[in-house]
Amino acid sequence: MRADPAADDEALVAVLFSRLFSAQTAPALLTAWLLHLLAGHPREQQRLREEARTVLGPAGTPPTVDPARLVATQHALRETLRLYPPAWLLDRTIQSPTTLGGRDLDPGTEGRVVTYLIHRDPAHHPDPDVFAPARWADPQPDLHRGAYLPFGTGGRYCRGALWVTTIAALTSAALLRRHDFRHTPGTRVCPAFGAHLEPTGLRLDTHCASPG
């Protein structure tokens, strides 16, 4: 606990604002990155569309809601979060003397965990730059617990993770069962590493998907 209570209040307000901002922005970024990847992988997009129609019912009918059955969609979301984690950088301030990777770190030392780089480390993720949702189809008992951190880990694990993945699966399935997404000609997407990882330049055209 710090000596200055006002500083604690300020820190608390800063954390709350950051969390509120994240809770609004990160889900939208997750859907945007997913649609970007699916626009570049039409066969995967069609696979998810077929799953959406099987689970939600055909386009134009009221959807039945069972997110657990959207298995391929959940894998695609997991893979999107691996390639483009909206929270690409986690900050830490060392609180007590710590040894990490053989280095002694004093209290007050600032650390950065770059999830974007960890998620693309070939030691943990074969063909790390390839969008391959199927890699999540099989259980990965050997995956190091620090090798996939889109929602953080430990005591600060994201409180919205389950909610947001459920909503993202349902939203994308609802979109995909009706619409076909393609990049607008000339689109060039560049990841922007700001407060969140954003797909700058993303432009998508939507067409009515052919009835399944």
Q: Does 17 engage in binding with ligand HEM (CB under 6 A)?
A: no
Spacing of C-alpha 193 from chain mean position: 14
Q: With contacts defined by CB under 6 A, name the span among 49-57, 85-93, 100-108, 184-192 that binds ligand HEM.
A: 85-93
Residues between 132 and 151 with contacts to ligand HEM, criterion CB under 6 A: 150-151
87 binds ligand HEM (CB under 6 A): yes
Work out the burial of residue 88: count CB atoms within 10 Å of its CB; fewer than 13 is exposed, 13-18 middle, 19 or more buried: buried
Residues that contact ligand HEM, how many (by CB under 6 A): 18
Which string of b and e fits 177-188 if b means at least 16 CB within 10 Å?
A: bbbbbbbeeeee
As beta bridge partners, residue 199 has 191
199 binds ligand HEM (CB under 6 A): no
Q: Looking at 22, 45, 80, 172, which residue binds ligand HEM (CB under 6 A)? A: 22
Three-state secondary-structure class, residue 43: helix
Binding residues for ligand HEM, per CB under 6 A? 19, 22-23, 26-27, 30, 86-87, 90, 150-152, 156, 158-160, 163-164
